[in-house]
Structure 1
Amino acid sequence: MRTAPPLGEEDRGRLLGGAHHDPHGLLGAHPVRGGVLFRVLRPYAKAVTVLAKGLRADLHDEGDGLFGGVLPLSAVPEYELLVAYEDNVVTVHDPYRFLPAVGELDLHLFGEGRHEELWQAMGAMPMVHQEVTGTRFTVWAPNARGVRVVGNFNFWDGTGFPMRSLGSSGVWELFLPGLGEGELYKFEITRPDGSKTLRADPMARRTECPPANASVVHTSHHRWQDAAWLERRAERPVHAAPFSVYEVHLASWRPGLTYRQLAQQLPAYVKDLGFTHVELMPVAEHPFGGSWGYQVTGFYAPTARMGTPDDFKYLVDALHRAGIGVLMDWVPAHFPRDAWALAEFDGRPLYEHEDPARAAHPDWGTLEFDYGRAEVRNFLVANAVYWCEEFHIDGLRVDAVASMLYLDYSRESGEWTPNVHGGRENLDAVAFLQEMNATVYRRCPGVVTVAEESTAWDGVTRATHHVGPGGFGGLGFGLKWNMGWMHDSLGYVSKEPVHRKYHHNEMTFSMVYAYSENYVLPISHDEVVHGKRSLVSKMPGDWWQQRATQRAYLAFMWSHPGKQLLFMGQEFAQGAEWAEGHGPDWWLLDPSYSAEPDHRGVRDLVRDLNRRYTDTPALWEQDTVPEGFSWVVGDASEDNVFAFLRYGTDGTPLLAVSNFSPVVRHAYPLGVPADVAAWREVLNTDEVRYGGSGVGNPDPLKPDASVPWHGRPASITPVLPPLATVWLRPV
């Protein structure tokens, strides 16, 4: 073997300094005049030997961990390296003899913002490449001068593991043979100014448990058992199906449980209460537990606090096998500024907007995504698909949509720049949301997207190809949280009954716009935290009146057009606000705590509400069309009474009557259709077993056609219990 020609000082300096774009051009084996040049970078090695079939040759020590030499060969052989350190000797494949392990098509699609399975092309992917088992690392860092892989496998010293730049894609790649799942890693990035930063992988599919923040090489071994569920879920459109959601913060539902332990308890509990779906507050990895998951750093990794990604799949699988759909909060509106995560990832604004005024979120101290950049849009759209396809998620509730849609969101005049048309709409965010929804609905049959959107933006749940009066196509969501209904109705029930007549319209106004979108009625975590008090504590009066009002309100909510969502703990009238540190007060349901059905009664009502709801198509088949609803009396403000009819597609009605006054109203006249022989009470929130006073209508009520009422050809005169809602159906 003869001595290799020395590296130029510039190449040598950039290579050793982690600022070389093409280390594969310097390292590995390359044909040269008179043979094959081998060059290896192995810091701390004492000697390096090339091993090939019938060949063993020691490379010359060139200093600084570089070893090289020229062998008199006619072609590059298949070879390995024997590396001798102070206290051990290892035989390894040379990472710099491999071709790129990510395809040209992958890079092209990513550059166009159209790679719908981006997680297959980016991040750490265990694989067999050129018949060798290892892990391919890829990361997008277009502004970096150099990128190196560091981890526990190289003692967090990336000197010998520089990545190559794949042209104008901005993607850096390195295949490390022999490396497999479970390895910890990060990317060491040399910024444009020459400084270095250590970053977690934006595409990591598994992470360390916070506060540790390294990424983890991951391969899934879960075998799904929910094929029947997936096949069935697309049979009926969500807006025309029963949809009753139990919102859960997994870490505090039963504090201390793992994903697999939750799988033994949560499905059974939710199934017993009759909810059709759970909605999980954000499960993507986040460093600060007090953010409840809404400040995400690992968009492709379930939080490691409760187990591995496969453990989370096990939980989703268990819920599906119990017949329960799984929604999850998805947070594409912003990300935190942690120096090891996405913020100025490669030394310049990358995932965030380059305009600091556009990048800084005014409310949360976080950064907003640059939705106009193809690669960033791709990162997020593929992420939505990822959760639905890899984790079988049935729906995405998209957080803080309003903050994405408006350039002037929480900004004063002079703090924002109008769009090209002079308006305040964020056109990039609109296009992103449309693309995300269209992609998810095309790829994932039966999945629903739900917008938490707090303004009157036109067409949130309109199809993306249908242009509205404002000139925009619909955003393409399946459902939208009805924040107006939530605010108005909670405002009404929080008033003393004597004052409610002055706020009667707060309970009826929602029907003015009920069909402008496909709505969910949300009593979420946001309404029972930070001084807002729990649901039952919002109600006025003594303890009996508070519980009675909550029961009446829940039954009003379940019968109102729209789907419903209830946050954990509110199903049994927990008096304390939610706190992520300890979760619901389950001890309140213990009979030894109280023989009275105070809390158990409210829980039992919620169970019956869900069962009656699911068994009554009139309450969900025509949620989004006017034919499904008709007021009986909506102006009885002096009485605090509301009554309306709901209809199924076959015309079968349900009559819902709410009395938000603490007095019994005997023989209260209500107009009804003439073609019903008798009405039977099927639900009464004042039943003794729910904690009520037991006032009700045990006998069927026969319409009197001789006394038309409320513009209808007949009437009935039920007794209305105090602070209660009753449901009546044809006998």
Structure 2
Amino acid sequence: MALRDTSLPESSGPLVAPSGAAPALDPAERERLLSGRHHDPHALLGAHPVDGAVVIRALRPYARSVHVVVGGQRHALTSEGDGLFSAVLPLDAVPEYTLAVAYADGEHETADPYRFLPALGELDLHLIREGRHEQLWKALGAEPMTHQGVTGTRFTVWAPNAQGVRVAGEFTCWDGTALPMRSMGSSGVWELFVPGIGEGARYKFEITSRHGGRFLKADPMARRTEAPPATASVVTASHYEWGDADWMAHRGDVPVHEAPFSVYEVHLGSWRPGLTYRQLAEQLPEYVRHLGFTHVEFMPLAEHPFGPSWGYQVTGFYAPTARLGTPDDLRYLIDSLHRAGIGVIMDWVPAHFPKDDWALARFDGDPLYEPGDSRRAEHPDWGTYEFDFGRVEVRNFLVANAVYWCEEFHIDGLRVDAVASMLYLDYSRDSGQWTPNVHGGREDLDAMAFLQEMNATVYRRAPGVVTIAEESTAWGGVTRPTDSGGLGFGLKWNMGWMHDSLGYMSHEPVHRKYHHNEMTFSMVYAYSENYVLPISHDEVVHGKQALVSKMPGDWWQRRADHRAYLGFMWAHPGKQLLFMGQEFAQGSEWSQEHGPDWWLLDPGYGAEADHRGVRDLVRDLNGIYRSTPTLWQRDTEPGGFQWVLGDAADDNVFAFLRYATDGTPLLSVSNFSPVVRHDYRLWAPDRIPAWREILNTDAARYGGSDVINPDDVKVEEERITLTLPPLATVWLTPLQ
């Protein structure tokens, strides 16, 4: 178990006899030290003055001999057994020294970890105790550094219930005996500076619980991990030089709810299977820019052991998944997207974590990150643990994690997963499986406080970032500011719109008139929150079918419905999100194993009308959307929308106006029946003399039947007369 410091030369120099044997350790203290249960190993190991001399004691299991080197002179240490070596040196004060340790493979010289003062400051410890360390990753975990003139790595971990904690790694043959950590008092933090250990070293923490159990745990604050299924943490530091200063300076110039926001959701590991972060950077930005999306949203990228969880069961909250490369490789991808003018949203999962015994679960032998009450700790749906949002250190761990991704990776937004499961004490629980809050209600007050703190902190520290809630209930005030009692999110997924509109579209056109309100009901509550309209990965897996396959009828009708629905969606108040593969009407469900069916776009497949046409429509929808403030400036204002025809259930027709802040309108008309409606009359404001069709989802270039309105449409007596193509949406703007 050779602890090596490769920055120091091989030992040399004359051998000097020590002045005598060191005083024996108290047997109880010795036993605690060797068993990994000592809270202050620095009191026993290292150099200590005694009676006009200095005692030096080292713990080096499996060493054949140990010498202390002072000023070029070597002093032999005497073996005390069990890997302990000691000597008394005739010195007036503790010197700077190194240890020359001989193992079977040779002798290695290293600085002694137990001659260093703590490498963690009192302010850090105070903030950790208070649960207010907003850059927690700079205080806990593994930090390569130079300390007291020596290079190495500072290891720190929060384990307040442990009897003892030791560092174990490939540099100790995964035996922590030689590197016990010291307790930093009431903070619950353990610390050790290990000279000579640098970037790339693999490590874990060997914890002895208060119950006597001993086990290895990955670092909760690890910023890099081994690629699964391996589970070790990896010492790392970023050396990336960002090139997105202009993007970062201006991303918050316009509030997100008043800006264009069209999101392409991506499972990064399967978008182009086999590509690394850096290889993706050569393809993804160009593809997204070509299609005109303003943002990409990555499904979770934090490290997770089980690939088919899609990243929603996180074990390494501070570590990007190593499956696709290093943390700096991910920074390169995000930087490339920013330089292409594309924002980056990341799914973030603070609701729960898996029970893997090497990770967060019962971290120091007792419930720590999870509540102590097993009824509250267990998540009934996912076989995971929930976080203890009432514990300040746990809240700090999560709040700092949100800040970490924004500050260290320049993430532009966090989509927070499963918010509803956090907010309700009785979520998926029957009577007797939960306890009401202090007011007798079902709301989780601690989770509310956590979400408010997280949002307030992120918005304060990372200007221009948006937080987005996936919240599936009618909880009030999700996007209301925290100072008004809201949760403080910037946007919320509109799950009701998604469910109702897809329900409507799944019916045969002849039956849609009985479900007409499913398409209009969203406008009853459209301004209760700041909404995103999501067609996400959840809607195209597990038997739910791809978007185009949800539609009824033959293949032509399905594609027509798909196009018409996208036209309706892009015109509807709210931002848009579309999952990969749906932009070209992939017919099969998404598969993590092989990703989108890119072959459908192959010209040899005859895809021009079928799939390339749909992709061209998405490109044009985004192009018009981004250049038309009418479609996004007043998403959250009732004055930005007006029904023109909302009750034409027998016709399956919906028509409405959108307005920009300067009053400029856009007319959207959707005909969700498979018949052409000639001479269809609609009300139109008489202040506009004529309208021009700017988008028609039935155009031939999109794969449609090309029933269009080629001529300008004049307003006569507050009426316009249109030809409505079958299963199509048309957009019209005032003739300039």
Q: For the superposition of Structure 1 and Structure 2, which TM-score range results when normalised by the shorter chain?
A: over 0.9
TM-aligned CA deviation for residue 594 of structure 1: 1.0
| CA–CA distance in structure 1, aligned partners of residues 726 and 670 of structure 2 | 9
2:227 maps to which residue?
209
Alignment gaps of 5+ in structure 1? 467-472, 706-713
Post-superposition CA distance 1:490-536 (Å, at most 9, x none)? 00000000000000000000000000000000000000000000000
1:10 maps to which residue?
28
TM-aligned CA deviation for residue 54 of structure 1: 5.3
Q: Which moved more, 1:70-79 or 1:336-345?
A: 70-79
Query: Structure 2 matches for 1:10-49, cutoff 5 A?
Result: 10-49=28-67
CA contact (8 A) 2:601 2:608 kept: no
TM-aligned CA deviation for residue 319 of structure 1: 0.3
| CA–CA distance in structure 2, aligned partners of residues 192 and 50 of structure 1 | 35
Correspondence for 2:728 among 721, 724, 727? 724
Query: Structure 2 matches for 1:191-210, cutoff 5 A?
Result: 191-210=209-228
Query: Structure 2 matches for 1:553-592, cutoff 5 A?
Result: 553-592=565-604
Post-superposition CA distance 1:551-575 (Å, at most 9, x none)? 0000000000000000000000000
Correspondence for 1:380 among 398, 401, 407? 398
Correspondence for 1:548 among 557, 560, 569? 560
| CA–CA distance in structure 2, aligned partners of residues 351 and 556 of structure 1 | 44
| CA–CA distance in structure 1, aligned partners of residues 446 and 618 of structure 2 | 42
Correspondence for 1:612 among 624, 634, 643? 624
2:166 partner SS: strand
| CA–CA distance in structure 1, aligned partners of residues 132 and 213 of structure 2 | 32
TM-aligned CA deviation for residue 232 of structure 1: 1.1
| CA–CA distance in structure 2, aligned partners of residues 412 and 616 of structure 1 | 49
1:718 partner SS: strand
Q: Would you say 1:479 and 2:491 are equivalent positions? A: yes
Task: State the AA in 1 paired with 2:640.
Answer: G
Post-superposition CA distance 1:461-489 (Å, at most 9, x none)? 000011xxxxxx10000000000000000
Task: State the AA in 1 paired with 2:530.
Answer: N
Q: Would you say 1:660 and 2:678 are equivalent positions? A: no
1:527 maps to which residue?
539
Post-superposition CA distance 1:19-60 (Å, at most 9, x none)? 110000000001111311100000111111111125421111
Q: Would you say 1:516 and 2:528 are equivalent positions? A: yes
Query: Structure 2 matches for 1:83-102, cutoff 5 A?
Result: 83-102=101-120
| CA–CA distance in structure 2, aligned partners of residues 620 and 596 of structure 1 | 30
Task: State the AA in 2 paired with 1:476.
Answer: G
Correspondence for 2:614 among 586, 597, 602? 602
| CA–CA distance in structure 2, aligned partners of residues 248 and 342 of structure 1 | 27
2:350 maps to which residue?
332
| CA–CA distance in structure 2, aligned partners of residues 657 and 682 of structure 1 | 12
2:75 partner SS: strand
| CA–CA distance in structure 2, aligned partners of residues 662 and 617 of structure 1 | 31
Correspondence for 2:468 among 430, 450, 453? 450
TM-aligned CA deviation for residue 595 of structure 1: 5.4
Q: Which moved more, 1:62-71 or 1:281-290?
A: 62-71
Q: Which moved more, 1:587-596 or 1:496-505?
A: 587-596
| CA–CA distance in structure 2, aligned partners of residues 523 and 4 of structure 1 | 72
Correspondence for 1:369 among 387, 396, 400? 387
Q: Which moved more, 1:45-54 or 1:538-547?
A: 45-54
Q: Would you say 1:689 and 2:663 are equivalent positions? A: no
TM-aligned CA deviation for residue 585 of structure 1: 0.2
TM-aligned CA deviation for residue 197 of structure 1: 1.0
Query: Structure 2 matches for 1:158-169, cutoff 5 A?
Result: 158-169=176-187
Query: Structure 2 matches for 1:65-84, cutoff 5 A?
Result: 65-84=83-102
Q: Percent identity?
A: 76
2:42 partner SS: helix
Q: Would you say 1:438 and 2:456 are equivalent positions? A: yes
Q: Would you say 1:403 and 2:421 are equivalent positions? A: yes
Correspondence for 1:495 among 484, 487, 507? 507
2:682 maps to which residue?
670
| CA–CA distance in structure 2, aligned partners of residues 563 and 87 of structure 1 | 63
Query: Structure 1 residue runs of 4+, over 6 Å off?
Result: none
| CA–CA distance in structure 2, aligned partners of residues 117 and 548 of structure 1 | 50
1:667 partner SS: strand
TM-aligned CA deviation for residue 157 of structure 1: 1.1
TM-aligned CA deviation for residue 86 of structure 1: 2.3
| CA–CA distance in structure 2, aligned partners of residues 669 and 87 of structure 1 | 91
1:710 maps to which residue?
none
| CA–CA distance in structure 1, aligned partners of residues 542 and 200 of structure 2 | 39
2:122 maps to which residue?
104
Correspondence for 1:507 among 482, 502, 519? 519
1:469 maps to which residue?
none
| CA–CA distance in structure 2, aligned partners of residues 127 and 28 of structure 1 | 21
| CA–CA distance in structure 2, aligned partners of residues 363 and 18 of structure 1 | 38
Task: State the AA in 2 paired with 1:376.
Answer: V
1:241 maps to which residue?
259
CA contact (8 A) 2:600 2:607 kept: no
TM-aligned CA deviation for residue 87 of structure 1: 2.8
Distance 1:325 1:26, change over 3 A: same
Correspondence for 1:423 among 417, 441, 455? 441
| CA–CA distance in structure 1, aligned partners of residues 72 and 377 of structure 2 | 59
Q: Which moved more, 1:593-602 or 1:521-530?
A: 593-602
1:131 maps to which residue?
149
| CA–CA distance in structure 1, aligned partners of residues 187 and 608 of structure 2 | 67
2:137 maps to which residue?
119
- Report the TM-score, using the length of structure 2 for normalisation: 0.97
2:4 maps to which residue?
none
Post-superposition CA distance 1:175-217 (Å, at most 9, x none)? 0011100000000000111111110000000000000010000
Q: Would you say 1:639 and 2:657 are equivalent positions? A: no
Post-superposition CA distance 1:408-451 (Å, at most 9, x none)? 00001111000000000000000000000000000000000000
Task: State the AA in 2 paired with 1:720.
Answer: L
| CA–CA distance in structure 1, aligned partners of residues 386 and 213 of structure 2 | 25
Task: State the AA in 2 paired with 1:557.
Answer: M
1:592 partner SS: helix
| CA–CA distance in structure 2, aligned partners of residues 730 and 172 of structure 1 | 68
CA contact (8 A) 2:573 2:631 kept: yes
Correspondence for 1:306 among 320, 324, 348? 324
1:141 maps to which residue?
159
Post-superposition CA distance 1:568-627 (Å, at most 9, x none)? 000000000001011000000011011541001100000000000001101000000101
CA contact (8 A) 2:303 2:321 kept: yes
2:283 partner SS: helix
1:154 maps to which residue?
172
1:708 maps to which residue?
none
CA contact (8 A) 2:129 2:393 kept: yes
- Report the TM-score, using the length of structure 1 for normalisation: 0.98
Post-superposition CA distance 1:148-191 (Å, at most 9, x none)? 10111111111100001001111000000111000000000001
CA contact (8 A) 2:601 2:607 kept: no
| CA–CA distance in structure 1, aligned partners of residues 72 and 498 of structure 2 | 78
Q: Would you say 1:230 and 2:248 are equivalent positions? A: yes
